[in-house]
Structure 1
């Protein structure tokens, strides 16, 4: 079955960035990035989720962190130059990005928000991010992702306390 091209995929085509698409079965009750990682056969530290945050000075930004980690808000605030930053309420995610929960990506977002990628992404030849819809992931080189979205690398993830 051919996977429909999303705006994110069209952006990669325009930039001539090589990628691979992997589709997976979507369970609306389980949109966890760890589940996506399992379904596409990659370790969770190689599958990245995109979170929408808003700082007190710089406004909205995107934080891209591994599936098995949490966003470190203090570290993100330091990276953005904000004193205080927090993730936006779920109801604001789609109006801000044009994407629904489980399908948020920095690629071809409604606006080109500043994007911060957890620096551990550089440890891998390939990382996986949402293609802009639930059920499809894009696999690409971290450097290509950085180029496609103008991301800045920063240590913004922390292990889940558990």
Structure 2
């Protein structure tokens, strides 16, 4: 492992003695999760994208859902106790999370925002999330993701 891989997310996993694998791939600019899963021949169900939202209260919330699914804003808002939520504008992602679009992971953001992982993650031994920068993925147990983000599971996708 070269030093360049140590994103904040990786440091947090190491500090918490969480077992994980890193997967590096070539990626110079933003690609959506489905394109990356296709490129790497990974299951959509196991590949999770990170969505950052802001509630009416001005508080931020993080959601992790399968890359081929859409978030149900009503369910997600209800889950975090907000009347409604909206996606954080792309230009604000770095300021809010410390990560860039396409490299945003629920682990190790600037602040520990309330995090909800879609309950389908529990169906898998391991899931894949971004590693904190373009071209890096973290593969870990869903319960470990919940643990390091102080997150929880809920049904937050469109059916």
TM-score, structure 1 length as denominator? 0.92
CA contact (8 A) 2:105 2:130 kept: yes
> What is the match of residue 141 of structure 2?
141
Structure 1 CA distance for aligned equivalents of residues 32 and 39 of structure 2: 11
CA displacement 1:72-114 (0-9 Å, x = unmatched) = 1011011011111111111111100000000011211101000
Number of residues paired by the alignment? 158
Structure 1 CA distance for aligned equivalents of residues 39 and 14 of structure 2: 25
Structure 1 CA distance for aligned equivalents of residues 126 and 24 of structure 2: 16
Structure 1 CA distance for aligned equivalents of residues 98 and 106 of structure 2: 10
CA contact (8 A) 1:57 1:81 kept: no
Task: Report the CA distance between 1:65 and its aligned residue.
Answer: 0.6
TM-score, structure 2 length as denominator? 0.94
Question: Which stretches of structure 1, 4 residues or more, deviate above 4 A after TM superposition?
Answer: none
Structure 2 CA distance for aligned equivalents of residues 16 and 127 of structure 1: 17
Q: Is residue 78 of structure 2 the alignment partner of residue 82 of structure 1?
A: no
Q: Is residue 31 of structure 2 the alignment partner of residue 21 of structure 1?
A: no
Structure 2 CA distance for aligned equivalents of residues 75 and 42 of structure 1: 27
Alignment of 1:101-120 (within 5 A): 101-120=101-120
Alignment of 1:24-39 (within 5 A): 24-28=25-29, 31-39=31-39
Task: Report the CA distance between 1:27 and its aligned residue.
Answer: 5.0
Task: Report the CA distance between 1:42 and its aligned residue.
Answer: 1.7
Task: Report the CA distance between 1:157 and its aligned residue.
Answer: 1.4
